[in-house]
Amino acid sequence: MWSKMETLKFDSALWERVASLLEYDAAAPLTLTTGFFLFAFLIFGVGYVVLHRRVTLRNIYVVLFSLYFYYKLSGIYVLLLLFVALSDYLIGRRVARRRERGRGTRGWVALSVVINVAILVYFKATDFFVGLVNDLYGSGTLQWESVVVPAGVSFFVFQSIAYVVDIARGTIAPLRRFTDYLFLLSFFPKMFLGPLVKAREFIPQIEERGKVVTSEDMGRAVTLIAGGLVKYAIIAKALGVLFVAPAFDGEMGEGGLVALMAIYGFTLQIYCDFSGYSDIAVGVALMMGFRLPDNFDAPYKSATITEFWRRWHISLSSWLRDYLYISLGGNRRGRMRTYLNLFLTMLLGGLWHGVGLTFIAWGALHGVALALHKVWLEVVPKAKRVGSEMKLAWRIPAVLLTFHVVAFGWLLFTAEDMAQVGDMLRRIVVNFSFAEIDALVHGSGVAMVLMVVGYAMHALPKSVDMGVQRMVTRLGFVGQCIVVVVVIWMVMQCDMMLAAECGAGGGLPMYAAF
C-alpha cells in the first residue's frame, strides 16, 4: 500500500500535469497536427455530441474550446483576438444602424480598417523599420526586442475587416450575439492557416439547429485529414529539414542543379504545407458538421498566372479580389487603371505576408504577371480558353512556363534577402551540371523520393481523389479509424527519423502527448 507521502507526491504530480495542459508553452505551441490536439479534440467531441442540437450552448462550448486552443497556440495574444472581436462586433452593429437610417458608414468602416491594419503593421513591420533605422544610423540606435507575431493574426484581422465591410455593403446583417461573432472569428479549425470563410456562407451554419454528418461527409473528412497529414506533417516537414533548408544555406555545395532542385523543393514544400493544413482544417470542421471552403485546387496545373490565383489559396485570393482589388476600382476605370489595380493588389498582398524587399518583389512579380496576362488577352482573344478548352499542345508549355514563374516567385518569397536570390540564380546559371545527379540521389535520396511522391500526388486527376474518398467512405467507422491510426504512425516515424538524423523534429511530434 502507498504511504500518505507517496499519495501526496502522486497527487502533486497529477495536478502539475493538469496545470501544464492549461498553460501556454512557447516551445511547443498547439496545432491541428500535434498529438495533444488529437487527445483534446476527442474529449471535446464527447461534449459536442451532447450539445450539438442546442444552438446557444453548442456555440458557447465551441467558442470556449477555440479560445483555449488559441491560448495554447499563442498565449497572451488571445486577448488581442478578443479585442478585435469586440471592436468589430460593436462597429458592425453601429454600421448597420447608420445604414438602416440612410446615413453614411464610411467613417466607421474606416475606423475598423485603421484598427485592424494598425495591428498588422505593428506585428509585421516593426522589426523591419527598427532594423532599417539601425542600418541607417548605426547599430543600436533603436533598442527593441523582436516582436513575436501572433499565430493566425492576418487571418482573423482579414476576417474581421470583411465582416464590417459586408455589413456596410448590405451583404449580411450584423450578428445579434457577441458569442456568435466570436465563433465566426475564432472557430479553431481555420484559426492558424485558414481558410478564410465568407460571413454570408458561414453565419447560417452557426445558427443551424441540428448538425447532420453523413457517412459521405465522414469519409471525405477522414480522407482530407489523412491526406493533409501526409502533405503537411511528412512531405513538407521532411523535405524542408532534409533538403530545402540545407540547400538554401549552402550546406550541400554550390552546384547549380542543387540550387534548382532546392527551388523546386520549396515550391512543393510550401504547397504541401498550406494545402495540407487547409485540408486538415476542412476535415476537422466537416466532422463537426461545418463546411469550410476548399482552399487549393492543384495550382501547379495552371496554364496562366490568372488561373494559378484561382487555384492557389482560393479563400485569400477571393478576399484580395473582393475587398482590395474591387475597392481600388477593379476593372471599372479603364485598362491602365485595371493593370495598376492588379499590381497594387498583389504588392499589398506581398506586404501582408511580411515587410521586406523580398516580399515586395514577390508581390510585384505577380502583379506584373497578372497585368501582362490581361494585356495578352486583349491582343490574343483566343487565349481566354483555359483548362480542357485549351489544346494540349498549347497547354503543356503554358503550364511549364507558369510553373517556373511561380517557382521563381517562391524563391523571392523564401529567400533571406535579395543577395541570396542573386546567389541562387548565379549558381544555376554558372555552376549547373548534370553530374550532380549522383550526389543528389545518394546524399538526399529520401528528399528526392518525397519530391517525386509529392508532385505525383499533385498531378493526380480529381477522379482519383473522388475514388479514394468513396473507398474510405465504404470502409466504415472502424476502417476509417485504422486509416487515421496508420497515418499518425507514419507521422510518428517521420518525426523520429528527423530527430535522429537532424536533431530536429519540427515542433511537437504527434506521439508526444501519449
What would the pLDDT profile of 105-116 be if each residue is shown by its tens digit?
899 999 999 999
Could you tell me the residue range of the domain that residue 416 belongs to? 215-513
**Which of these is catalytic: 52, 353, 373, 404?**
353
User: Do 412 and 474 share a structural domain?
Assistant: yes
Where a domain ends, among 183, 207, 231?
Answer: 207
Q: Which of 252-256, 378-382, 504-508 shows the lowest per-residue confidence on average (mean pLDDT)?
A: 504-508
**Cβ within 8 Å of residue 28, ≥6 positions away:** 34, 507, 508, 512
**CB of 390 closer than 8 Å to CB of 303:** yes
Own/partner pairs, 86-90, CB within 8 angstroms, 24+ separation: 86/178, 87/112, 87/115, 87/160, 88/112, 88/115, 88/116, 88/160, 88/161, 88/163, 88/164, 88/181, 89/174, 89/175, 89/178, 89/181, 89/182
One domain, residues 383 and 267: yes
Please give the grid coordinates belonging to residue 423. 546567389
- Is 5 or 35 the better-scoring residue by pLDDT? 35
Q: Is residue 8 part of a domain?
A: no
**Where a domain ends, among 163, 184, 207?**
207
- The answer as to whether 89 is a domain residue is yes
- To the query of whether residue 373 is one of the catalytic residues in this protein, the response is no
Q: Are the beta carbons of 450 and 263 closer than 8 angstroms? A: no
Same domain, 236 and 184: no
Secondary structure letter of residue 172 according to DSSP: S
Residues 219 and 186 in one domain: no
In terms of Cα–Cα distance, which of 207, 110, 118 is closest to 168? Answer: 110
Examine the domain organization and report whether 223 and 198 are in the same domain.
no
Q: What is the pLDDT of residue 66?
A: 93
**Do 223 and 153 share a domain, yes or no?**
no
Supply φ then ψ for residue 108, to 5 degrees. -70, -40
- C-alpha to C-alpha distance for 164 and 107, rounded to whole angstroms: 12
Tell me the residue ranges of DSSP E strands in 183-266: none
Determine how many CB atoms are found less than 10 A away from the CB of residue 119. 20
Give the whole-angstrom CA distance, residue 189 versus residue 183.
Answer: 11
Residue 48 lies in a domain: no
Look at the chain and report how many structural domains it folds into: 2
455/300 Cα distance (integer angstroms): 9
Relative orientation angle of helices 78-100 and 153-169, to the nearest 10 degrees: 10
Q: Are residues 355 and 467 in the same domain?
A: yes
Question: Among residues 207, 229, 244, which one ends one of the domains?
Answer: 207
| Per-residue pLDDT reduced to its tens digit, 189-226 | 988 777 889 999 999 999 888 788 899 999 999 999 99
**105 and 152 inside one domain:** yes
User: Is 60 exceeded by the pLDDT of residue 262?
Assistant: yes
- Residues 170 and 308 placed together within one structural domain of the fold: no
Q: Say if 16 falls within a structural domain.
A: no
The predicted-structure confidence for 114-162, as pLDDT tens digits, reads as follows: 999 999 888 887 767 766 666 666 665 655 666 778 888 888 999 999 9
pTM: 0.88
Cα angle: 447, vertex 450, 451; to 5 degrees:
90
- Sign, Cα dihedral of 430, 434, 437, 438: negative
* Angle, helix 78-100 to helix 178-186, in steps of 10 degrees: 120
Residue 505 pLDDT: 40
